[in-house]
Structure 1
């Protein structure tokens, strides 16, 4: 169980979590990096807005990663380009056979 002291955007508090201190520090460091990027861009000035945008950016990153993983883990999806080519070829042959009434 770890503890993390957060001093960010003019507020300070600590949290306890099941993860260890080192992991929590990495998470906070990554979040601070996102906040720094937003602040350097000058897009937003209000701290609450910066915090909300950072959260949305992290959600976007997570959502895209989960979407990418779910596509790559689809059991019906071909695992490499050769498999994909074979699958497409087989589908085209079936369609041609059907169009030529060779397959009933």
Structure 2
């Protein structure tokens, strides 16, 4: 179990989570970098707007990741289907060859 003190966007508080301290610190560092990036690219300085933009950005990243995973899964299923069909045809050919050779 980890503990993290968050000090960002004009607020400070501590949280506890089942993840370890270094994992939580890594998340906070990533969030801070995202906030800084949004602030630099948009010129926003309002903490609430920055946090909302960061939340939307993270939701977009998560959704894109989900879509990519769904696409990869679909490709894998399609590939597995093709392999199954190739195996079926191969076994049928082997069976036909065995019948001719007997």
| TM-score, reference length from structure 1 | 0.71
2:93 counterpart residue number: none
CA distance in 2, matches of 1:77, 1:67: 16
- CA distance in 2 between partners of 1:71 and 1:41 (Å): 31
The whole-number CA distance in structure 1 between the counterparts of 2:42 and 2:59 is 21
More helix as a share of residues: 2
Structure 2 unaligned residues grouped into runs of 5+: 83-102
Q: In 2, Cα distance between the equivalents of 1:33 and 1:22?
A: 16
Max Rg structure: 2
Q: 2:67 & 2:25 partners in 1: Cα distance?
A: 27
SS, match of residue 16 in structure 2: strand
Q: Which runs of 5+ in 1 are unaligned?
A: 84-104
Partner of 1:91: none
Deviating 4+ runs (over 2 angstroms): 74-79
5 Å-filtered alignment, 1:26-65, equals 26-65=26-65
Q: Distance in 1 between matches of 2:14 and 2:59?
A: 22
Q: For each residue in 1:5-42, what CA deviation from the matched residue of structure 2 results, as whole angstroms up to 9, or x when unmatched?
A: 00001100010000000100010010001000011124
The number of equivalent residue pairs is 82
